[in-house]
Structure 1
Amino acid sequence: MKQIPIELVIPALDDHVDKLLVQPWFSASEAQLPIKPMLVVIDALDEIEKEEGSELVKQLIQAVSISKGLHGLKFFITSRPHPRIVDECSSIDQKAVYHIEDIDPKKASQDVRHFLDAELADLPSWRRENVAAESGGLFIYASTIVRYLHPPNFPLSTNQKAKRLDMLKTTGHHATRLGEQYELLIDSLYKAILVEAFPDVGHEVEISKRVLYCVVTTRQPLRISDLAALVVDATEEADDEAVHNALKSFHAVLYISSRDQCIYTFHKSFPDFILDPNRSPELASPARSYFCRSHT
């Protein structure tokens, strides 16, 4: 395949799909190169910056519709129902569109259960079954539970994992059906994680809160050194180590990317939870205030 100039990747161009996908695919076909069937997975299309997810799916639909030679290439795309993305997808055969609320919870729970069996094999099967049932078929709930039970650099025993699961039951109620009371389901888990992340240990906890607020409100992902400069008072020196330690307490919901060393949330539902005064009144107001202060 021919080389693609890097300037076609950064910044984004209107002909990305044609230059980076359609033309190379045709070139390989014309050269009679062996091409195996390929599935391209694009997750969280709605989270692309500047709402460019709708433009990407528009280009993909046009490419598949016009280019009859893309044999062996399929796309699996996930997204929240952003209005512009929904509008662009209106031309797709409805048989190829799946809505999460229409998926049988039992089928979704089977996939969740397989995941839990692999990730929490040391727990008794009845505990894994309980987590699968509580997830209501929502993978984000199950994957957050798994991360919560696997703190970095601090492995928990089977009994300690079980205690953590028992503690979750005291933080709120859980939905039991897919699509029903979604916020109530995931919010109870997020609240339990934050209760543990914010122990009453004095001024140090303030750094953790500032780190959290900064991550969920900044327009661009930041590195630890960037965060360290933002979360200290004007009279203090930046403390990278303190920020790194604070991030460890949020390991179930935040991560440092190995690609660019920036901090990201695992799922958009977490910043949505933090910034919604109805879902997280004790955190939403300070977070919004911090956003206004840090962007003035």
Structure 2
Amino acid sequence: AAYDSLAPTCHPGTRKDALHALYQWASGFDSESESSSILCLQGPPGSGKSVILHTIAQGLHAAGRLGGSFVFRGRRSGNENEGQAFFRTMAHQLASNVHGLRAPIARAVRRHPDVVHASMGVQLQELILEPSRELPLGSGGPLVLVIDGIDRCSYETQREILCLLGNAVRTRSLFRVVLACRPGDPAVEILAEPCFAGICRSYAIGRSLEDVRAFLGGRLGAEIEPLAAASGGCFLYASTLVSFLRNPEFHQARRLALLDSPACSSLDDLYVRILGRIPTASRETLLGVLHILSVKPLTDLPLRHVAQLLDVKAGRLRRVLRHLDAVLEIPESDSGAIGVRCTSFREFIVDPRRSGLFCVGGTNLARCMLESLSYAHENP
């Protein structure tokens, strides 16, 4: 999926060094830009990689330098093979964002209408590389492709996309690619292979207590030092906390009490506190939702099917889901899938050492739910 123009961006005054470095690289103004057409933004979970990429994408779009952007959603996309959609989505955005590419890409589609169903390599060649040859080099600087969430793809898909992009930037210096990864992700290992030598560099970001302090102060407007200290500079902690405290289901008096109380000492502690605030009447339903979200074959079920499996009305399920708005994404329609805001929360709920009583999951549960769903489809 392309970036959402309404997606969160960096809080004003935060991540200045990282944003400056990425803009310099994208513009070709830093010493390594000439030989590094691929930049891998690396950082630990919760360090704000996605938000930095959102900010970069918006800035490049405003400057007319964004070729295209893509966020891999994994199973939440409802698409079993997002990789197959990657290059045609980028081509569509290039046609929209770059006036000089609109006509060449349109001609390519008219000549080969079936190209949208072709392999990734053919799509890249016919929808992007061939049309881009009609765009003069040096016409406004390099075009940047922004990629997030590539770790949600299979290893084979990651390798194919990255190798194709590597070959593309070697043969056509018009394009640059920036993507975000955790240290140790498969994509990081792939980009460290000899075939990427000379065309790829990394930029590491860490956690920033100063930036988190500025973010919390701007969002909460209260005495936030204990909360900032508890975050350890983790933006995920800070953003989850803000969403939790701003939730209309969370009473204002309780919000103030939490701000005055000793802060949670880790992101896991914050998750426990969020789950512990679920009202007793809603707890069974919400834990059932977490069970479903912990099992891969079930993570893309529409909300209405989740409600059916849990034997509740979709409207009631939507109401109780608001209690977990800080960690879950609630779809606009009942045909959309419930999402998990961050991979770390999914990892938390399936690890009994971290989540304790809130741990969920299990293959027996998955089997029962799949059988129930099959029965529901056969007996509407």
Aligned to 1:210: 288
Segments of 5+ residues of structure 2 without an aligned counterpart are: 1-101, 372-380
Residue 146 of structure 2 is aligned to residue 146 of structure 1: no
Secondary structure of the structure 2 residue equivalent to 1:76:
strand
Report the counterpart of residue 114 of structure 1 in structure 2: 214
From the superposition, tell whether residues 113 and 59 of structure 1 become closer, same or farther in structure 2 (CA, over 3 Å): farther
Does residue 63 of the first structure (1) align with residue 168 of the second (2)?
Answer: yes
Q: Which of 165, 180, 185 is equivalent to 2:259?
A: 165
CA displacement at 1:46 relative to structure 2 = 0.7
Q: 1:27: how far off?
A: 3.5
Aligned equivalent of 1:181 = none
Structure 1 residues 142 and 26: alpha-carbon distance in aligned structure 2, compared to 1, 3 A threshold: farther
Q: Which runs of 5+ in 1 are unaligned?
A: 175-184, 233-237
Residues 14/162 of structure 1: CA separation in 2 closer, same or farther (3 Å cut): farther
1:13 matched residue in structure 2: 120
Partner in structure 2 of residue 268 of structure 1: 343
Deviation by residue 1:139-165 (Cα, 9 ceiling, x = unmatched): 1111111111121x55864x6433233
1:22: how far off? Answer: 3.7
Identical residues among aligned pairs (%): 25
Query: Which residue, out of 280, 287, 290, partners 2:365?
Result: 290
Deviations along 1:261-288, whole A, 9 cap, x unmatched?
Answer: 3211110011111111221232335555
Deviation at 1:63, TM superposition (A): 1.7
Task: Give the SS at the match of 2:353.
Answer: coil
CA distance in 2, matches of 1:258, 1:119: 25
Provide the secondary structure at the position in 2 that maps to 1:280.
helix
| Aligned partner letter, 1:77 | L
**Is the contact made by 1:255 and 1:264 (CA closer than 8 Å) also made in structure 2?**
yes
Q: CA–CA distance in 2 between the matches of 1:43 and 1:16?
A: 20
Structure of higher RCO (CA pairs closer than 8 Å, 6+ residues apart): 2
Cα distance in 2 for partners of 1:196, 1:9 equals: 48
Paired AA for residue 115 in structure 1: F
| Deviation at residue 38 of structure 1 after TM alignment | 4.7
Give SS of 1:261's match. Answer: coil
**Aligned residue in 1 for 2:230:** 134
Q: CA deviation at 1:227?
A: 1.1
| Equivalent in 7, 22, 43 of residue 148 of structure 2 | 43
* 8 Å CA contact retained: 1:44, 1:80: no
Match of 1:75, SS?
strand
User: What's the counterpart of residue 194 of structure 1?
Assistant: 275
The answer (yes or no) to whether the contact 1:54–1:85 under 8 Å persists in 2 is yes
Q: Secondary structure at the match of 1:245?
A: helix
Distance 1:61 1:20, change over 3 A: same
Structure 1 residues 277, 156: closer, same or farther in 2, change over 3 A?
A: closer
Partner of 2:181: 79
Alignment-mate amino acid for residue 302 of structure 2: R
1:123 and 2:222 aligned? yes
Change (3 A) 1:225 1:289: same
How many residue pairs are counted as aligned between the two chains? 259
In structure 2, relative to structure 1, the CA distance for the partners of 1:294 and 1:45 (3 Å cut) is: same
CA contact (8 A) 1:46 1:82 kept: no
TM-score by length of 1: 0.71
Deviation at 1:16, TM superposition (A): 4.7
Q: Which moved more, 1:272-281 or 1:215-224?
A: 215-224
